[in-house]
Amino acid sequence: MRVRAPAGHAAIVLAAGRGVRAGGTQPKQWCDLGSRPVLARALDAFAGFERVVLVVHEDDMGAAIAQFSGPVTIVTGGETRSASVLAGLTALEGQASHVLIHDGARPLTPAPVIQGVIDALEGGAIAAAPGLPVSDTLWRGEAGHVSDITPRDGLYRAQTPQGFRLPEILAAHRAHPEGATDDVALALKMGHPVAITEGSEDNLKITWPGDFTRAEKLLGGAVDIRLGNGFDVHAFGPGDHVWLCGVRIPHEAGLVGHSDADVGMHALTDAIYGALAEGDIGRHFPPSDPQWKGAASDIFLRHAIDLARAKGFRLANGDVTLICEAPKIGPHASAMQARLSEILQAEADRISVKATTSERLGFTGRGEGIAAIATASLIKG
Ligand SMILES: Nc1ccn([C@@H]2O[C@H](COP(=O)(O)OP(=O)(O)OP(=O)(O)O)[C@@H](O)[C@H]2O)c(=O)n1
Ligand SMILES: C[C@](O)(CO)[C@H](O)COP(=O)(O)O
C-alpha cells in the first residue's frame, strides 16, 4: 500500500538526536539496517509528501546534504526532541495546513499507520496519532521489587508519526518551550482533542542496541530477492583475440558478433535483465541499430545495473560460467572478476567467473564457438 498524501500535508522527520541509549560509534539513525541507513528508510515512508523537512544535528549537516538534499528541506535541530520539532515547524510555517511529525529512528513504519493519521486529519481532527493498547500487566518497581500494579485499562503505547493542524501544533510548541516527550502531550496542554489511530508492532523505534536485531528480523520477512539467468553463444571467426568478461585474450580466432561478442558479459547482462523481468540485451540494444556495431559490451552491463539501481535493487551476486575448450580461462579468471566488479561497482567477492569444457562434445567441444551461462541475484533496498 502506498501512502496517499493530500495537498497541504507536510512531514517532519527528526534525526538530530545522538542515540546515546543505542550506543555504537555513530547515532542510530545513520547506522545501516539491511544495507541502508535507518534514516533513509524512515524518509522513504514520506516519499509521497509534497514537503518533507529533515531535522539533523549540526555535525551531520554535511552527510545529510550529501545523501538527502533535493526533495527534502534540511534544517538544524536543537538540544531536545521538542526543540528539534520546533525547528522543523518553523521551517514549515505558512507553507502547509497539516504536519506529520515522525521519529527518524522509526525505519519500518507501515503505510497504513501513516494513512490512518492522514485520514483522521482529513476527517477534521486537530490532532491524531498512532497508539497500541498495552497488553502486558504494568508494574511499578522499587529496588528490584514490584511495589505496585498500574491498571492497564485505557493505556496505550504512543508511536509516530503524530499528525496535527500546523498552526495549532506550532502555537503549542511556542507556548511550551519546556517541551515534552512527544507532541501529543503539547497538543493536550493546549486543550486540543487527540484522536488515537491504529499503531503497529512493526513501527518500532530503535532505542536500545537490541532493537537493531529486532528491526533486521522484521525487514528480513519483507525482503525482495530476485534471481535471473542468462545464456549466450558466439561462434568463432577470423581474428587473433576474444573479449571475455571485459578482458582481451589473445587467441587463434575471434568471436563473431554485432558488438564485441563478449559472450560472458552478455550472459551476465541478460541475467540482470532477467531478474528485473526486463527482457534481454536485444530489447534494450537492438542488433538492427548500427550504433552498437563493434560496441564494447560494458555499455550493456552498465545499463542493466543502472536499471536495477533505478528500480531500488542492488546486486547481491553474479556468477558466470564460460563453456569452451580454448582459450584457457583459468589464467584470466581473476582479471575478469576484477573487471566485472569494477563495472558493476560491486565487491569482488560478489562476482564469480569460472569455466568448464563440454568434454569435446557439441559445438563448444568441436571448438566452433563459446557459450556462457550466468546467474544474478538482486536485493531490494
Ligand atoms: N535533540 C533531539 C533529540 C532527538 N531527536 C530525534 O527524535 C527521535 C526520537 O528520539 P530518541 O529515540 O530519544 O533519540 P535520541 O535522542 O537520539 O536517543 P537517546 O535519548 O538514546 O540519545 C529520534 O529520531 C531523534 O533523532 C531530535 O531530532 N533532536
Ligand atoms: C515520540 C515518541 O517516539 C512516542 O513514543 C517517544 O515519546 C520518544 O521518546 P524519547 O525516548 O524521548 O525519544
265-295 pLDDT per residue, tens: 999 999 999 999 999 999 999 988 888 888 8
Average pLDDT, stretch 367-375?
98
Q: What are phi and psi of 297, to 5 degrees?
A: -70, -10
pLDDT at residue number 222? 64
Angstrom distance (rounded) from CA 376 to CA 306: 14
Q: Are 265 and 301 in contact (CB under 8 A)?
A: yes
Any binding-site annotation on 356? yes
pLDDT at residue number 287? 85
Query: Using a 6 Å cutoff on CB, does residue 58 contact ligand 1?
Result: no
pLDDT tens-place string over residues 126-178: 999 999 999 999 999 999 999 999 999 999 999 999 999 999 999 999 999 99
Which residues, other chains included, contact 257 with Cβ-Cβ below 8 Å and sequence gap of 6+?
234
pTM for this prediction: 0.67
Any binding-site annotation on 174? no
- C-alpha cell at position 82: 521538542
Q: Are 99 and 167 in contact (CB under 8 A)?
A: no
pLDDT at residue number 136? 96
CA 223 / ligand 1 centre spacing (Å): 27
pLDDT tens-place string over residues 292-334: 888 899 999 999 999 999 988 999 999 999 999 999 999 999 9
CA 15 / ligand 1 centre spacing (Å): 7
Any binding-site annotation on 160? no
> What number is the ipTM of this complex?
0.94
